[in-house]
């Protein structure tokens, strides 16, 4: 995915801010931007604004992980101002940031915000979602790291994302990714019972 010069400047700041972040890592932000661009293009949305917001969406994770969707707003505003992002487009990008999270925040009110939330949800699912869920669970203390606790933990993670997509394209992609998670979960259960 090609970034505009302003988006490239944003990306450099995101990479610096999130360099040591294990869950909301820079590569996660770039993948969310990629999903946002793909879904946004097909939906006729403002892809430029979507990619900009997607790059910034987890910038608050290093400030307050649990409330990152709100705490990141000020840092995102600073970055947008520093790079000269058009002032009349900032509130739309900030709404995408604030409404993307499964932890809370306002509901997504625009097509772009719904796509932003869907893009992040795709990262919550599939093989990447499994890895990120385990890392997040250990980092946040929600998963003990013990294999016997993994099935219940992963079931909860699947429930957080299943049926939450706003766009048809993300729903279709998400269903396939969730099916993979469920097959992995079944395999883990079989291995824990010495059946496979």
**pLDDT tens readout for residues 24-75:** 999 999 999 999 999 999 999 999 999 999 999 999 999 888 888 888 999 9
CA–CA dist 154, 150 (Å, integer)? 6
Cβ(123)–Cβ(31) below 8 Å = yes
Helices (H), 108-193: 111-122, 126-140, 150-161, 168-192
Per-residue pLDDT band for 104 (boundaries 50, 70, 90) equals: confident
Cβ(14)–Cβ(31) below 8 Å = no
Q: Which of 125, 66, 40, 54 is nearest to 96 (CA)?
A: 54
CA–CA dist 101, 108 (Å, integer)? 10
* Phi, psi (rounded to 5 degrees) for 143: -130, 130
Look up residue 63 and give its DSSP letter: T
**pLDDT tens readout for residues 121-151:** 999 999 999 999 999 999 889 999 999 999 9
């Amino acid at each position: 995915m090609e970034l505009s010069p302003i988006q490239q400047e944003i990306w450099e700041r995101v990479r610096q801010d999130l360099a040591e972040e294990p869950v909301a890592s820079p590569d996660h932000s770039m993948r969310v931007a990629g999903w946002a661009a793909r879904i946004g293009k097909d939906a006729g949305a403002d892809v430029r604004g979507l990619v900009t917001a997607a790059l910034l969406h987890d910038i608050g994770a290093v400030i307050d992980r649990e409330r990152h969707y709100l705490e990141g707003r000020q840092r995102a505003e600073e970055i947008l101002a520093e790079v000269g992002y058009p002032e009349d487009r900032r509130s739309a990008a900030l709404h995408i940031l604030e409404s993307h999270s499964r932890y809370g925040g306002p509901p997504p009110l625009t097509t772009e915000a719904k796509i932003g939330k869907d893009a992040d949800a795709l990262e919550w699912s599939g093989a990447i979602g499994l890895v990120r869920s385990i890392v997040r669970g250990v980092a946040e203390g929600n998963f003990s790291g013990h294999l016997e606790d993994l099935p219940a933990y992963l079931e909860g993670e699947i429930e957080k994302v299943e049926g939450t997509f706003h766009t048809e394209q993300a729903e279709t992609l998400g269903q396939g990714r969730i099916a993979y998670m469920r097959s992995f979960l079944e395999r883990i259960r079989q291995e824990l019972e010495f059946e496979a």
